Amino acid sequence: MRIGILTGGGDAPGLNAAIRGVGRRALAHGDTVIGVKNGWGGLIGDGDFMELDRHRFSGILQLGGTMLGSSRTNPMKREGGREDVLRNLGRAELDSLVAIGGDDTLSVAAWLAEHGAPVVGVPKTMDNDLSVTEYCIGFDTAVSRVAEALDRLHTTAASHHRVMVLEVMGRDTGWVALMGGLAGGADLILIPEIAVTLDEVIDRLQRRLRSGSDFSIIVVAEGVEMEGVTDKQVAEGKLDAFGHAQLSKRGVADTLAEVIEARLGHETRTTVLGYTQRGGSPSAYDRIWATRVGVAAYDLVLAKRWGMMPVVRNGTVETAPISEVVRETRRVTPELYELAKVFY
């Protein structure tokens, strides 16, 4: 067989481990592996491919990013996009395609599978918001980055008696903020799923001051909505091909810090982690599980179970339809948020 692999959407630590898992498994079975460059963009126009031999998979396990490149190209929004993709799959003589990505990338994969394309998926998103699966490539590394940043911010916050506001990724869900905040000992965590008013934030900080704590650490997800601080509609910049604005331009942390300082008179500083959350080497956990779901994706190809993908549930790799995985967003539960509040 000739097996294609692509990575779409934002890069994430662990993508190369998944590529390696699919590829090495395929080569062991005598198959040919073809890399599709730059996500779905590599299947538009004349197509853009590269053959992946054993040498190509050497030394990439520990590397961040994706050796194949990525993009946010959306063939569903292009006239003749589906036909273009199917034509290029035929032109490259691909018997199957493994699409590694999050909600956007996998939505295209599900759409293609519905139209008869031999596609399987692999779950990747730092936001960890795909339904059905408990693991998405890149999430563990992102949480570790947040926890490490909080460890460093604690020392300077305590030294200067400041409020520190750390802004992290999280468009619609707060998994990175909540788990990173728990691991890093944040004093307040603000996420899109749970509404918190500005007055509640100020009250929390005042209670810490009265209790003798002269510094505080706040973690805020970039997609948080809070009256008096944010308005998702004023996000600057163009929308991407999937309709997403660049939320980092909203300045959630900066605005929140200004309001806190004005109302409390307490010196406040901000840090925006931005792309450092998705850069660099993957954690051991991401390397292991990305490898496992990559190998499992090849097994689905071998069984010709098109439109399916590996998911992680209860500590094991299982299988689910791509369409089911992208059907809804997996959100932080109120019960989990209550756990974080125990330490406020």
- Strand 163-168 versus strand 308-313 pairing type: unpaired
Which residue type occupies 275?
A: Y
What does residue 184 show for φ and ψ, rounded to 5 degrees? Answer: -100, 5
Dihedral of the alpha carbons of 285, 290, 293, 297, in degrees to the nearest 10? -170
Tell me, yes or no, if 214 is annotated catalytic: no
Letter string b/e over residues 11-25, b meaning 16 or more CB atoms within 10 A of that residue's CB: bbbbbbbbbbbbbbb
- Strand 268-272 versus strand 216-221 pairing type: unpaired
Catalytic-labelled residue, pool 127, 129, 140, 286: 127
Which ranges in the chain belong to alpha helices (H)?
15-28, 81-91, 103-114, 139-160, 175-184, 198-210, 252-264, 284-302, 322-325, 334-341
| Distances in whole angstroms, Cα of residue 66 to Cα of each of 10, 58, 234 | 10, 14, 32
Tell me if 94 sits within 8 A of 3, measured CB to CB.
yes
Give the contacts of 287 (CB within 8 A, at least 6 positions apart): 14, 17, 61, 62
Q: Which residues are catalytic?
A: 127
